[in-house]
Amino acid sequence: MSIKKGRFTIENLENVQINIGSVVSSGKAEEKEIPKGLTPAPEIHELRDWDLKLLDRYEAAYSPVCDMCCYCTYGKCDLTGNKEGACGINMEAHQAREAMLRTLTGAAAHSGHGRHLLNNLIERFGADYPIDVGPSDIKAPLTQTIMGIKPETIGDFVPVLDYVEEQLTQLLATTHMGQEGSAIDFESKALHAGMVDHLGMEVSDIIQISCLDMPKSQEDAPLADVGMGIIDSTKPVLLCIGHNVAAVTYIMDYMEEHDLFDKIELVGLCCTAHDMTRVNDKAKIVGSVSKQLKYIRSGIPDLIIVDEQCVRADMMRETSKLHIPVIATNDKIMYGLPDRTKDDIDDIIRDLSSGDQPGALLFDYEKVGELAPKLVMKMAPIRKEKGITALPDDDEFKKLASSCTMCGACVIGCPQGLDIDKAMEAAAGGDLTLFEELHDKCVGCGRCEFDCPKSIPILNVIEKAAQKVIREEKGKVRTGRGQVGDPEIREEGVNLVLGTTPGIVAIVGCPNYPDGSRDIYDIAEEMLKRSYIVVTSGCSAMDIGMYKDDDGKTLYERYGGRFLKGNLLNTGSCVSNAHISATTIKVAAIFARRDINGNFEEIADYVMNRIGAVGLAWGAYSQKALSIGTGCNRLGIPVVLGPHGPKYRRAYLGKPYDKDKWNLFDARNGSVVNVEPAPEHMLISAETKAEVLPMLAKLCFRPGDNNLGRMIKLTHYIELSEKYLGALPDDWHVYVRSEADLPLAKREELLKKLEEEHGWKIDWDKKKILEGPARKVDVSFQPTNVLRLCKGASE
C-alpha cells in the first residue's frame, strides 16, 4: 500500500501535538525567518553544559605572565601562590579572566571589522544582495549552527552581528570588578567568546566573497606573488597594511579604470594583502606582519594606506623620517592625524607631498580611491630622487657594526633571544652569514634598538646585511579560495573513511615563530607528503609559500588546492579561518545528516568524536589568534601553539593517565564506554618543530576511527616519532584496539612488542590480538559526550 497524490481522510489523531509558529492576518508582508534549533543565538549560559563537559576532560591550566592584578585602585594586588586580591579574586580566576579578555579582544577585532564591512557593502550593494560562496547548499555553516537561520542575502547578516555585538558587550562587562568569581565560568565565557569570534569571521568573509567578486570555493584560484624580493621598486610603490580591504577596493577600481596597474606597484602587508589579491590578481603581497617595519625602513613604499589590526603603533614616527605619507582609513587607527575627509583631494596631495603634513584621515573611500594613486605617483619621483632609505650604505654599515660593544642588551631585548651580538661581531669582520640567517628569524619588532646603549639602529643593520637574501625572497601563494565546497567534502568522504587521508592539519596564524619561517614550510611539506590535507590562512599561508624545492617550485605549485588528501588549501585572510571550522560542521551535516540549525552542542560533540582535524598556530602572537583557537576548541577541534603559546596564560590539557576522564556514551544505547585519550589535549604548546610533528599526528586520533583510519593515523604517529624523536612513542599501544589497527609494514614486529613489553595475549596463528586493548573496535559505536543524544536515555 502506498500514499499517492489525491484525496484521503484522516480518521483518527492519536497523541498528535500541533505547534503553531505565528498567526498573522493575510496581507502582512512580514517574511522574517524564524530561528530554529535547540539553542539558536545562545546567551552566555546556554551552552554552559557543553563547556563544563569539555573543561572536565581538558582542564584549564594556567601559566601566569604576571603574578599581580592591576585592574583597580585597590591594587596592584599580589596573587602569587594563588592568593586572593582585594576584591576576593584568586590567581586562577584572574588568569581565566585575563585569557577571556584576550579572547574577547580577538573576537571584537574580527567582528568590528565585519560590522564595518557589512555597513559599507550594504551601502554599496544593497541589503538584498545575494550570498554566493560557491557550489554549496550549506552556505553559512557557522551562522546556521549558532544562529539557527539560513541567510540568503547580506542583509540577513545584520541580526547576526547584532547578536555578536550583544555577546561581546555582555562578556566585556564580566571583566569589570566584582563580576564572575570562578575560573571555570570565566573559561565558559571565553569559549563563548571564541564561538562568537568564529561567527563574526564567517560573516566578514562571506559578505566580501559575495560582493567583491572573490574566489568562491575555487580550488584553482590563481597563484599570487609574495615576498620582499618580488616588488619592482623602480615604480611608485603603494603599500596597504591591515586587514580591512574595503578602502583598498576603491583604489583598485580607480587603478583599473585608469589603467594604472602597469604604472604603480600595488602591494599589501598582512591580511589586507590576501584580500587584495582575492579581489584583483594584479595586487602583490609583500608578506606577513613581521615584514612591516622592515619594509618601511627599506624606504621602498612611497605611500602607505592603513586600515585596522596588526599595524605598527609607531607608524607615524617611522614614516615621517622617511617622507612616506600615511593615509588612515578606519577610525580604529587614527594616530592623532587630522581628519581631512571633507577636504579637496588636490589640497591633501599638496600638503602630504610637500612634507607639511605627515598624513591624513580619510573616511570617504571614493576620495581614497582617487587620491592614493595620484599621490603615490607624485611622491615616487620625489622620494626616488632623494634615494630615501633607512638602511645604511656600506661605509655606514661597517661603522655601525664596529661600534658594537657586545654588551648583549639587544639579545635580552629580543623576543626570540637571537644572537644579534655574535652576528654584529662577525659583520664587523666582513662576514654577513650570521645576519643572513638571523634575518628570517627576526620578527621585525625593533625592541633591540631601544636597548642598545650605542643607539645602533640594529634592524637597519640586519636588513642591510641581508640584502642579498632579501632580493631572493620570492614566493608564491595560492589566492584565498574561501570556503570548502559541499561537493569537495562529499568526494573526500571516501578518503576520510578509508583512512587514505590521515587527517586535516590547519597551519594558520601569526609569524612569531621561535626559529624562523622555515619550520612551517617543513611541517606542511612533511604532512602533505603523508597525504594529510593541509589548510592554511593569513601570515602562515604567506610564509609557507616562500620556500622552494630543488626544481624551484613552491608547495602551492607542487600540490593541488582541492579539499582532498595531500592537497594544500589557502582559505584566505584571518577571517577566512571561519571556513576551516565551518568545514567540520559541513561534514556533520553532509555525512551524518545532523540537523545543524541552532544545534551547537550536538555538532561540536560530533566533531570532537569523529573528525581528525588539528590546528597549528606555530607563531601565534595576537589576541585574534587566541580567539580563533578558543572558538575551535568549543567546536571540539584541538589546537597546538608554538613555544610563545604559554604566554596566553591558559591551556586546555587532558590527563591521559586518568581513565575516569575518558568515558563516553554509546549513543545506540546509552552505555558507558571507556576510550583511549583522543584528542589527548585541546589547547597545548610545543617547543620545537621536531616535537610538534608527531604531536600533530597524535592529535588526529578520534574515538570514532574505524580500523583503516586508525591504522593509517597510527602509522604516521609512529613514523614521525621515530623520525623526529628517534624512538617509538611510549603510548603507541594505547591507540591499538585490534590487530587491524596496526601499521601494515610493522604488524609482526609490533605484535611482538605488545606481547613482550605490554603483556598482551596474541594468537600467532591467526595474527590476532586476544587480550590487551582497553576496548574492542566496533565501527558502529556511536561516541558521544551528550547523554540526551542517546537512544533510550533520559538526562
* Residue 369 vs 704, nearer CB to another protein: 704
Residue 85 sits at φ, ψ, to 5 deg, of: -90, -170
* Residue 249 vs 782, nearer CB to another protein: 782
* Residue 121 vs 434, nearer CB to another protein: 434
CB of 10 to another protein, least distance (A): 5
* Residue 287 vs 615, nearer CB to another protein: 615
Beta bridge partners of 59: 653
CB of 176 to another protein, least distance (A): 23
* Residue 391 vs 452, nearer CB to another protein: 452
Q: Could you tell me the sign of the dihedral formed by the alpha carbons of 181, 184, 185, 186, in that order? A: positive
CB of 306 to another protein, least distance (A): 26
CB of 612 to another protein, least distance (A): 10
Question: Can you point out the beta strands (E) in 244-390?
Answer: 265-269, 284-287, 303-306, 326-328, 359-361
* Residue 120 vs 706, nearer CB to another protein: 706
Say if CB 734 and CB 774 are below 8 A apart: yes
Spatial distance between the Cα atoms of 624 and 242, rounded to a whole number of angstroms? 13
Q: What angle do CA 756, 757, 758 make, to 5 degrees?
A: 105
Pairing of strands 475-478, 504-507: unpaired
DSSP string across 538-602: HHHHHHHTT-B-TTS-BHHHHS--SSSTT-EEEEESGGGGHHHHHHHHHHHHHHS----TT-HHH
* Residue 64 vs 572, nearer CB to another protein: 64
User: Going edge to edge, which strands form the sheet with 650-653?
Assistant: 59-62, 650-653, 683-685, 639-641, 613-617, 504-507, 533-537, 568-572
User: Which amino acid does the sequence have at 81?
Assistant: G
**How many CA atoms lie less than 13 Å away from 524 in the CB half-sphere?**
33
* Residue 456 vs 686, nearer CB to another protein: 686
CB of 576 to another protein, least distance (A): 20
* Residue 114 vs 654, nearer CB to another protein: 654
Question: Can you point out the beta strands (E) in 358-435?
Answer: 359-361
Spatial distance between the Cα atoms of 683 and 699, rounded to a whole number of angstroms? 11
CB of 83 to another protein, least distance (A): 9
CB of 489 to another protein, least distance (A): 8
Q: What is the CA radius of gyration of the chain?
A: 28
* Residue 239 vs 697, nearer CB to another protein: 697
* Residue 321 vs 447, nearer CB to another protein: 447
CB of 34 to another protein, least distance (A): 7
DSSP string across 62-125: E--S-SEE-SSTT--EE-TTT-B-TTS-BHHHHHHHHHHHHHHHHHHHHHHHHHHHHHHHHHHH
CB of 286 to another protein, least distance (A): 28
CB of 763 to another protein, least distance (A): 11
DSSP string across 641-652: E-TTGGGGSEEE
Spatial distance between the Cα atoms of 284 and 272, rounded to a whole number of angstroms? 11
Contacts of 653 by beta carbon, 8 Å cutoff, 6+ apart: 58, 59, 61, 681, 682, 683, 684
* Residue 270 vs 751, nearer CB to another protein: 751
CB of 218 to another protein, least distance (A): 11
SS3 265: strand
* Residue 300 vs 686, nearer CB to another protein: 686
CB of 210 to another protein, least distance (A): 16
CB of 460 to another protein, least distance (A): 21
CB of 270 to another protein, least distance (A): 24
Three cell numbers at 167? 555577546
Total residue length of the chain: 795
Three cell numbers at 232? 619592482
CB of 314 to another protein, least distance (A): 17
DSSP letter assigned to residue 307: -
* Residue 557 vs 595, nearer CB to another protein: 595
* Residue 444 vs 709, nearer CB to another protein: 709
Q: 300-315 burial, b for 16+ CB within 10 Å, e for fewer?
A: bbbbbbbbbbbbbeeb
Three cell numbers at 392? 645604511
CB of 704 to another protein, least distance (A): 5
Spatial distance between the Cα atoms of 77 and 71, rounded to a whole number of angstroms? 9
Three cell numbers at 95? 588568569
* Residue 64 vs 446, nearer CB to another protein: 64
Spatial distance between the Cα atoms of 325 and 378, rounded to a whole number of angstroms? 11
Beta bridge partners of 614: 505
